[in-house]
Structure 1
Amino acid sequence: MKKTIPLALFLLSFSGLSQAATVDYLQSRNGVAYQVNQEKPFSGTYVQKYENGQKAIDVTFKEGKENGVATEWYASGEKRGEAHYLDGKTNGLMTKWYENGQKSFETTYKNDMKNGVTTEWYRNGQKSEEATFKKGKENGVSTEWYVNGQKREVANFTNGKNSDGVMTGWYENGKKALEVTFKDGQEVSRQYWTVDAA
């Protein structure tokens, strides 16, 4: 699976935005949010807007830590992302969308670690990847697809490492491209097929 950056890591990082609404600006001191020239950690709602006035970010803080729902929007007004936080850590569902409204990513977090099924989609709505995580590590079947819906790769994982068995890959036309055999998390053999020979 491709690594996906949690919503918290790109909040407050937009360019071309105007700080406005509940607070003008927040500072981070050792991972805790404060208003400028304030010694008490910030509690309340932080809102950023695009220059066109459209809301870009809405985050609720409690004692300097994100708590509750954090939401992002595109300048067009379409929702871009939504995540749930508890005491500054990602907990619960995280969802992202393309600007056309199509869902692009969805997973569940527990204490900042992926925990459950993670799914990604192409802009056309076709699923691109799906895997299951436990405490931040892949466990179970991981599947990737081409944009045309054809399977690209299927692998099995245990605690973030390839499980004993075979990982299989296919060409976009559906013909087999490779097989990789794993034992104790290590690759032991690999076989390729050309498009014509598959």
Structure 2
Amino acid sequence: MRVEYDDVEIEDDLRVTHQGELFTGEVVERSPQGQVIAVTTYFKGMEDGLSAEWYPSGERKAEGSAHYGMAVGVHEEWHRDGNPAARVEFDDQGKLISRQRWAEDGTPIKN
């Protein structure tokens, strides 16, 4: 199931519900002009699976995965020009493995 961001509720414990039930599926967020700027996957109300974000102009902004609300695997972010902004890797239990960041000109930023 795919629903719009405005059609879900975020509870105090950060679980997402749709029509009063814990939500399983994709939540789509749109810019004021109607372009898709984010898609997040949920399972039983918790972020679980792939998520992606785009700048309103269409360039990719971020991608990553979660397992039952916990960041796992590689998460990447990009500057508007397409150059890498960040790369963060987590193990299967959500423990940080590595983090790299870059300025818009491509210069590495110390963590």
**1:25 has 2:7 as partner:** yes
The letter of the residue matching 2:95 is: M
Determine helix, strand or coil for the equivalent of 1:91.
strand
Question: 1:34 maps to which residue?
Answer: 17
Alignment of 1:16-165 (within 5 A): 22-23=3-4, 24-29=6-11, 30-35=13-18, 37-38=19-20, 40-110=21-91, 111-115=93-97, 117-129=98-110
CA deviation string 1:104-154 (max 9, x = no partner): 100112334312x21111111122226xxxxxxxxxxxxxxxxxxxxxxxx
Alignment of 1:180-191 (within 5 A): none
TM-superposed CA distance for 1:80, in Å, is 0.8
CA distance in 1, matches of 2:15, 2:35: 27
CA distance in 1, matches of 2:67, 2:45: 12
Identity between Structure 1 and Structure 2 (%): 21
TM-superposed CA distance for 1:33, in Å, is 0.7
The CA RMSD measured in Å over matched residues stands at: 1.6
CA deviation string 1:138-194 (max 9, x = no partner): xxxxxxxxxxxxxxxxxxxxxxxxxxxxxxxxxxxxxxxxxxxxxxxxxxxxxxxxx
Query: In terms of Rg, which structure is larger?
Result: 1
Determine helix, strand or coil for the equivalent of 2:22.
coil
The letter of the residue matching 2:9 is: Q
> TM-score scaled to structure 1, two decimals?
0.50
TM-superposed CA distance for 1:57, in Å, is 0.8
CA distance in 1, matches of 2:34, 2:7: 17
The letter of the residue matching 2:87 is: E
Q: Which runs of 4+ in 1 moved over 6 A?
A: none
CA distance in 2, matches of 1:61, 1:76: 26
CA distance in 2, matches of 1:32, 1:113: 21
Q: Which has the higher contact order (CA 8 A, sep 6+)?
A: 2
User: Where does the alignment leave 5 or more consecutive residues of structure 2 unmatched?
Assistant: none
Question: 1:189 maps to which residue?
Answer: none
